[in-house]
């Protein structure tokens, strides 16, 4: 007798679990993981471990165990947590090529409604890079920013609710993360990594408004 139990609706179709998983499928699973972490149902280590499994997954069958204990299986439909309106995540035209930003004795600025690729490389040598993500279109649930700042700076503005993971290494350099607040389920995750050498990286969320008493 075959097993007729339905699979989790967030991670693949009822049939054809051996089909190749797409980037959109991985982004949907990443949203489930980010939501579970924000709600306290996964620890940071569990979240990171499952993200690693997600990156290595090739088929729908590989995706199912990653969220089996996080989604409802049965007659009730599983609905993804809606992404707040302040975030615009569009994976339909996502590029696998990294976006390269170079400021050598110069400046680079990105603002307004521009597309942020999954992988980005920033080089600031005696220069500055200013990235405003508050109105940007994110091409994935997780955005990686690799930066090298040598006597230069990288300044990133993010919407409220974005989670930032700091993996920078500083040698006579500094990394400052301000005004982020609590992560919002469904919001993108920004991973910053790289090196500051006599330079600095700053990530800022919206500054809290001061109420008059």
Digit-coded pLDDT (tens) for 9-25 = 444 444 445 677 777 77
Q: Let me know: does 86 contact 111? Beta carbons within 8 Å.
A: no
Number of domains in the chain: 2
Give the pLDDT band (50/70/90) at residue 161. confident
Q: Determine, yes or no, domain membership for 19.
A: yes
Q: How many helices (H) and strands (E) does the chain have?
A: 3, 13
Q: Determine, yes or no, domain membership for 52.
A: yes
- 92 and 53 share one domain: no
pLDDT tens, residue by residue, 52-89: 888 888 887 888 888 888 875 444 444 444 444 467 88
Give the pLDDT band (50/70/90) at residue 192. very high
Q: Determine, yes or no, domain membership for 2.
A: no
- 94 and 192 share one domain: yes
Q: Let me know: does 209 contact 179? Beta carbons within 8 Å.
A: no
- 63 and 92 share one domain: no
With 50 as the cut, is the pLDDT of residue 91 above it? yes
Strand ranges (E), the chain: 88-89, 99-104, 107-110, 115-116, 119-125, 128-132, 137-138, 142-150, 153-157, 163-171, 174-178, 189-197, 200-204
- Check residues 51 and 175 and name the one with the higher pLDDT: 175
> The whole model's pTM is what?
0.62
Structural domain ending residue among the three candidates 41, 74, 107: 74
- 16 and 119 share one domain: no
pLDDT tens, residue by residue, 176-188: 999 888 888 788 9
Q: Determine, yes or no, domain membership for 210.
A: no
Structural domain ending residue among the three candidates 50, 74, 98: 74
Q: Which domain holds residue 14?
A: 7-74
pLDDT tens, residue by residue, 105-155: 999 999 999 999 999 999 999 999 999 999 999 999 999 999 999 999 999
- 170 and 140 share one domain: yes
Q: Rounded to an integer, what distance in angstroms lies between the CA atom of residue 155 and that of residue 160? A: 16
Q: Rounded to an integer, what distance in angstroms lies between the CA atom of residue 92 and that of residue 63? A: 20
Q: Determine, yes or no, domain membership for 209.
A: no
Q: Determine, yes or no, domain membership for 79.
A: no
- 14 and 43 share one domain: yes
Structural domain ending residue among the three candidates 74, 102, 128: 74
With 60 as the cut, is the pLDDT of residue 38 above it? yes
- 161 and 109 share one domain: yes
- 103 and 63 share one domain: no
- 22 and 117 share one domain: no
């Amino acid at each position: 007798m075959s097993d007729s139990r339905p699979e989790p609706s967030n991670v693949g179709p009822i049939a054809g679990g051996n089909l190749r998983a797409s980037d959109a499928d991985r982004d949907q699973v990443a949203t489930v993981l980010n939501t579970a972490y924000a709600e306290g149902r996964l620890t940071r280590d569990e979240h990171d471990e499952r993200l690693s499994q997600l990156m290595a997954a090739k088929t729908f069958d590989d995706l199912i165990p990653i969220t089996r204990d996080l989604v409802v299986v049965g007659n009730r439909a599983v609905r993804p947590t809606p992404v707040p309106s302040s975030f615009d995540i569009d994976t339909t035209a996502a590029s696998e090529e990294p976006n390269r930003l170079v400021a050598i004795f110069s400046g680079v600025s990105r603002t307004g409604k521009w597309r942020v690729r999954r992988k980005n490389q920033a080089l600031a040598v005696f220069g500055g890079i200013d990235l405003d993500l508050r109105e940007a279109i994110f091409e994935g649930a997780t955005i990686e920013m690799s930066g090298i700042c040598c006597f230069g700076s990288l300044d990133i503005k993010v919407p409220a609710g974005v989670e930032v993971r700091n993996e920078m290494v500083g040698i006579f350099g500094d990394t400052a993360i301000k005004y982020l607040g609590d992560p919002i389920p469904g919001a993108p995750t920004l991973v910053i990594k790289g090196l500051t050498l006599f330079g600095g990286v700053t990530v800022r969320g919206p500054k809290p408004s001061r109420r008059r008493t």
